[in-house]
């Protein structure tokens, strides 16, 4: 093909996205863990033969999508294309080469057609376990966090490396689930490769690079056009976040000029001796995600989505730590990158920025259930979504990541932890012309005869989700065990009968609460989202007796 007409481009693009969606479906159907099967902590992507990201599954985690292009380049540096063969599968979980911590496995397979590489398929997912101290924020060095894999060939010319599988069996708590997920990722990339070849055969395409040229160029042009609408200048923001042993400062300077965004995080504090440091690959991914949300949220992600964005951070800072800094809980700081950027650009993009969200709360559970089976799984919960101009925040909706909650029945059967309560918290959403989303109360009880170790990985317990442009903050998160408040990044042991109670943070409000319509306030009261007292005192609306 020498030229592709716009209609054909649309058809090809939709087809490529449908292929990545099928890769996601394959990974979910064949996985062994609830992290993938129920919570969708994953991304699946296609690249062209030149290693350029072309399409992602519709349901993919923003951070994984953002780190994958660099991960592929690291893999190809270790194994150049001319050294790869059909049937090879390459993996790594190195925090600085992958997604920022060792619990995510990156799995890549080259796609061969007529003896040459025409593309690459990659799947990424959070493994049930990787050994060490487990998924938590308590490690002091990366060496404590588990089995760190450089770029390796898991499968070479179709032959699985039994040595690598044996390393997993010897080092992880739930080997059956972990190896099952590892091989599910490999299977998913095989399906992606087969479907891409079928697509190329169907349309008589010998090389998808020309299609990639058009798709990537169109996406880059679209985001640059939106960036040019922002007045050139430097926009700054800084926030405080609770760390493990003290307060953490995050800062950014967003430089907008000539259709480009250069985001510098060098004003952030130094790295800390706790596993909440954020490798710059993750910082870059979340910064690109923020710009994408503000400019072209409706366009599928590809290399063109990130090309106009440059990210820098001071080496040795919490947003660019150096080895051997621990990074296991990197998301509890890394998730603040998006609202940090939103806050910087609020004055020039008031119609698009989002108030702060209550964010995800991840609780990693390890031990044995009542049947004596080894458990290593994550309980996903979240606070309220931040409000936007014209839109109330949704209750208990994750942001900036998009994992889903495990169904209660599945969780109770897996862990022997009973979910005693799960209810919305009235008045937890930040007041505003558009109200922040509600948080929730969750009560868990260990009904296993064995002790269960729980590692908390969350924030928003000291610094609430901020409102935007006159909106008020949402309520804080609080975690307690047997009635005693505990640290949101601590590690604790629940004996049989012990209970953990979680009050999730509410999302921030948007705009002056006094401007909220009377009908909206009265509807909130009827629905139990806002109390009659709050309606009178905050919104100036007196519900009928």
Over residues 173-228, the pLDDT tens digits come to 999 999 999 999 999 999 999 999 999 999 999 999 999 999 999 999 999 999 99
For residues 387 and 500, is the Cβ–Cβ distance under 8 A? Answer: no
The mean per-residue pLDDT over the stretch 462-488 comes to 98
For residues 283 and 291, is the Cβ–Cβ distance under 8 A? Answer: no
Handedness of CA 491, 496, 498, 502 (dihedral sign): positive
Dist. CA 246–CA 263, nearest whole Å: 26
The SS3 call for residue 523 is helix
State residue 264's pLDDT score: 98
The mean per-residue pLDDT over the stretch 255-261 comes to 97
pLDDT band at 545 (very low <50, low <70, confident <90, very high): low
Is the pLDDT at 172 greater than 70, yes or no? yes
State residue 360's pLDDT score: 94
Residue holding tokens 């040229």?
A: 213
Dist. CA 151–CA 154, nearest whole Å: 9
Cα 211 from chain centre: 28
pTM score of the predicted model: 0.96
The mean per-residue pLDDT over the stretch 136-153 comes to 97
C-alpha dihedral over 122, 128, 134, 139, to 10 degrees?
Answer: 20
Is the pLDDT at 1 greater than 60, yes or no? no
Over residues 90-138, the pLDDT tens digits come to 999 999 999 999 999 999 999 999 999 999 999 999 999 999 999 999 9
State residue 496's pLDDT score: 98
State residue 131's pLDDT score: 96
The mean per-residue pLDDT over the stretch 311-317 comes to 98
Q: Beginning with the edge strand found earlier in the chain, give each strand of the sheet holding 452-457 in spatial order.
A: 374-382, 360-368, 452-457, 491-494
Q: What percent of the chain has pLDDT over 70?
A: 99
Q: What is the 3-state secondary structure (H, E, C) of 260-282?
A: EEEEECCCCCECCCCCCCCCHHH
Residue holding tokens 């997912």?
A: 125
State residue 456's pLDDT score: 97
State residue 2's pLDDT score: 46
- The two tokens of residue 160 are 């699985």
Side-chain-side CA neighbours of residue 42 (13 Å): 35
pLDDT band at 544 (very low <50, low <70, confident <90, very high): confident
State residue 543's pLDDT score: 85
6-30 and 209-228 are packed helices; what angle lies between their axes, rounded to 10 degrees?
100
Dist. CA 46–CA 206, nearest whole Å: 16
pLDDT band at 531 (very low <50, low <70, confident <90, very high): very high
Q: What is the mean pLDDT of the chain?
A: 96
pLDDT band at 65 (very low <50, low <70, confident <90, very high): very high
């Amino acid at each position: 093909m020498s030229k592709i007409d716009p209609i054909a481009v649309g058809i090809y693009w939709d087809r490529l996205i449908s292929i990545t969606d099928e890769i996601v479906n394959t990974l979910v159907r064949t996985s062994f863990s609830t992290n993938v099967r129920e919570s969708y902590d994953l991304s699946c992507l296609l690249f062209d033969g030149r290693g350029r990201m072309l399409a992602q599954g519709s349901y993919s985690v923003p951070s994984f999508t953002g780190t994958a292009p660099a991960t592929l380049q690291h893999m190809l540096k270790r194994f150049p294309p001319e050294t790869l063969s059909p049937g090879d599968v390459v993996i790594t979980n190195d925090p600085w080469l992958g997604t920022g911590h060792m619990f995510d496995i990156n799995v890549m397979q080259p796609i061969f057609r007529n003896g040459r590489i025409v593309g690459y398929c990659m799947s990424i997912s959070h493994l049930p376990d990787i050994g060490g101290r487990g998924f938590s924020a308590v490690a002091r060095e990366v060496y404590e966090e588990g089995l760190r894999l450089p770029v390796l060939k898991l499968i070479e010319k179709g032959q699985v490396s039994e040595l690598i599988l044996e390393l997993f069996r010897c080092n992880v708590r739930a080997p059956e689930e972990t190896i099952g997920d590892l091989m599910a990722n490999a299977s998913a990339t095989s399906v992606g490769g087969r479907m891409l070849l079928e697509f190329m055969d169907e349309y008589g395409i010998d090389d998808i690079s020309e299609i990639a040229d058009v798709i990537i160029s169109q996406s880059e042009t679209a985001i640059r056009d939106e960036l040019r609408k922002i007045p050139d200048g430097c926009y700054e923001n800084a926030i405080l976040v609770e760390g493990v042993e003290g307060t953490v400062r995050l800062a950014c300077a967003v430089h907008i000029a000539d259709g480009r965004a250069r985001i510098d995080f060098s004003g952030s504090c130094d790295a800390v001796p706790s596993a909440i440091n954020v490798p710059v690959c993750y910082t870059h991914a979340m910064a690109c995600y923020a710009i994408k949300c503000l400019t072209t949220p409706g366009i599928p992600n590809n290399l063109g989505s990130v090309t106009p964005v440059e990210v820098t951070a001071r080496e040795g800072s919490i947003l660019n730590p150096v080895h051997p800094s621990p990074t296991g809980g990197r998301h509890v700081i890394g998730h603040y990158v998006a609202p940090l950027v939103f806050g910087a650009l609020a004055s020039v993009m008031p119609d698009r920025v989002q108030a702060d969200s209550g964010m995800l709360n991840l609780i990693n559970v390890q031990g044995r259930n009542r049947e004596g089976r080894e458990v290593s799984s994550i309980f996903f919960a979240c606070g309220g979504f931040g409000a936007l101009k014209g839109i109330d925040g949704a209750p208990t909706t994750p942001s900036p990541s998009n994992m889903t909650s495990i169904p209660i029945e599945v969780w109770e059967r897996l862990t022997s932890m009973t979910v005693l309560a799960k209810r919305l918290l009235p008045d937890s959403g930040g007041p505003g012309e558009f109200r922040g989303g509600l948080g929730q109360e969750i009560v868990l009880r260990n009904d296993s005869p064995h002790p269960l170790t729980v590692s908390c990985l969350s924030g928003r317990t000291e610094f609430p989700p901020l409102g935007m442009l006159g909106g008020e903050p949402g309520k804080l998160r609080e975690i307690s065990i047997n009635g005693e408040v505990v640290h949101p990044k601590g590690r604790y042991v629940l004996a049989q009968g012990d209970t953990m109670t979680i009050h999730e943070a509410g999302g921030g409000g948007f705009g002056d609460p006094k401007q909220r319509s009377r009908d909206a306030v009265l509807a909130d009261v009827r629905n139990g989202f806002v109390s009659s007292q709050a309606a009178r005192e905050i919104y100036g609306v007196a519900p009928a007796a």
